[in-house]
């Protein structure tokens, strides 16, 4: 009874102190999940092999190492936030009187050897804490406050991918409770970039800023940040400012109001702030601005004519001076007024195949006929539909469609946050989701990474370097 009461009290305390972002209690058993978000020093840089870093994110090439030698194959990525360390735990019946909590420790950017070292420290804390004493708060505090120093994690941090599921010495070194929960180094970089972007948005929305137009202090959820300069203004002031500019047709002048700053608002930001009617006007002005840079000479679409035609100012209608045929300058069909050029639904697949396999000259013709933006949108929609049809599965708990982009076969539903197995689609335990892949009685035994292309990572010769951080 004393153990049951102690377990209930500890879980209640965790739920009272931490929100669901940090602590998720299991509904199946006495246990749950703790997400440890490390406070990184600013600025924090990741040292990544160039082949894994997307070109648009590369900041610096041809760096030199500490000895001054050229290090051409490494680049640096600066981040503010990294994905959390995840501690899944379950209380045995005799905790805390005799046994420690059962746990697994997983992370996307720490190797299994680094996580194994943290597992060892958690075991030592339990031993030092004394039998009969609860330990979860000490574990959580240790991971929050001492992970960086324990593992000697400093900027620039060499980002590595290490999976100890092979043979020999590397496997013996790794704690069986430690998991690097990502499929490859390439996927790891994408996960980190996306997480840093989303977490930055969340932090921005929950922070407060002083608008330099009205000088009012408002939360980030009611503010807008110009991407190029990071100047922040409240949405109300920007909405009024954008409205005046758009009504005057100055859609190329939606600059940051900061003195002498030339950063421009993105169309997506304008869409979020102004009314749908005003954005439609803004969109038309942008289109017109683009068309102004195009040649005003087109040819009559009738095969028997092909007379050169000069378009009237600010008009998409062309009237052939030879045969008097009135046509749309974009789709080359009979003029249809303000109605958009049409693509019949029955012709979408045929047009998609024709466009994606066309030569540069043929593509240019199709883009003039139907509009480049509409054709690209059509291609994206077809690709998206094919991808979802081929890759999506339904969450066994809430039936939400889930796509597996990277990572192991332990999946987390983005809607209900439940765990499930991608291979057999069975629901996994909240407190120990990896047990499903470790149990000899499971059909998915030792299949945590099945179906995933193995990343060779680095040579085994330097395993000791990463074990002894």
Q: Catalytic residue numbers?
A: 408
Residue among 95, 93, 106, 196 at smallest CA distance from 143? 106
Q: Which DSSP string do the residues of 154-202 spell out, in sequence order?
A: -SSEE-------SSTHHHHHS-TTEEE--S-HHHHHHHHHHHHHHHHHH
Whether the Cβ atoms of residue 213 and residue 234 lie closer than 8 Å to each other: yes
At CA 122, angle to CA 121 and CA 125, rounded to 5?
85
- Phi, psi values for residue 55, rounded to 5°: -55, -40
89 close to 38: Cβ distance less than 8 angstroms: no
Four-residue CA torsion sign, 305, 308, 313, 314: positive
- Indicate the helix (H) or strand (E) that contains 90: strand 85-90
Whole-number Cα distances in Å, 21 to 46, 143, 200, 412, 417: 25, 16, 15, 14, 11
Residue 465 CA from chain centroid, whole number:
31
């Amino acid at each position: 009874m004393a153990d049951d009461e102690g377990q209930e009290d500890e879980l209640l305390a965790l739920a009272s102190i931490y929100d669901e972002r940090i602590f998720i209690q299991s509904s199946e058993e006495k246990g749950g999940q703790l997400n440890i978000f490390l406070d990184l020093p600013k600025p924090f840089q990741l040292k990544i092999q160039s082949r894994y870093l997307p070109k648009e994110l590369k900041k610096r090439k041809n760096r030199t190492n500490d000895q001054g030698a050229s290090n051409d194959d490494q680049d640096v990525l600066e981040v503010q936030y990294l994905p959390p360390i995840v501690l899944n735990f379950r209380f045995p019946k005799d905790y805390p009187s005799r046994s420690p909590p059962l746990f697994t420790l997983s992370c996307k950017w720490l190797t299994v050897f680094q996580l194994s070292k943290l597992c060892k420290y958690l075991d030592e804390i339990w031993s030092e804490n004394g039998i009969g004493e609860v330990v979860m708060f000490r574990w959580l505090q240790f991971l929050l406050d001492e992970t960086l120093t324990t593992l000697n994690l400093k900027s620039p941090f060499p980002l590595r991918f290490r999976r100890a599921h092979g043979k020999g010495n590397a496997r013996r070194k790794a704690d069986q409770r430690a998991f690097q929960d990502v499929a490859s180094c390439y996927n790891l970089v994408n996960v980190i970039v996306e997480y840093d972007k989303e977490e930055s948005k969340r932090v921005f929305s929950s922070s407060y800023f002083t608008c330099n137009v009205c000088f009012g202090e408002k939360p980030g959820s009611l503010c807008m940040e110009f991407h190029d300069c990071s100047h922040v203004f409240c949405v109300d002031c920007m909405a009024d400012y954008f409205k005046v500019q758009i009504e005057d047709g100055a859609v190329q002048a939606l600059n940051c109001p900061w003195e002498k700053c030339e950063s421009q608002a993105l169309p997506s930001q304008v869409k979020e702030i102004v009314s749908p009617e005003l954005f439609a006007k803004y969109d038309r002005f942008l289109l017109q601005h683009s068309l102004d840079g195009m040649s005003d000479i087109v040819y009559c679409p009738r095969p028997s004519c092909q007379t050169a035609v000069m378009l009237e100012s600010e008009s998409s209608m062309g009237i052939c001076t030879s045969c008097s045929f009135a046509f749309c300058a974009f789709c080359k069909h009979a003029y249809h007024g303000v109605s958009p050029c049409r693509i019949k639904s029955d012709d979408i697949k045929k047009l998609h195949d024709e466009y994606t396999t066309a030569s540069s000259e043929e593509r240019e013709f199709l883009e003039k006929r139907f509009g480049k933006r509409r054709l690209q949108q059509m291609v994206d929609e077809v690709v998206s539909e094919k991808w979802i049809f081929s890759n999506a599965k339904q969450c066994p708990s809430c039936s939400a469609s889930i796509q597996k982009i990277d990572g192991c076969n332990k999946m987390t539903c983005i809607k209900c946050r439940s765990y499930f197995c991608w291979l057999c689609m069975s629901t996994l335990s909240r407190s120990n989701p990896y047990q499903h892949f470790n149990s000899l009685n499971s059909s998915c035994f030792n299949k945590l990474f099945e179906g995933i292309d193995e990343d060779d990572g680095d040579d085994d010769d330097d395993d000791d370097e990463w074990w002894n951080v």
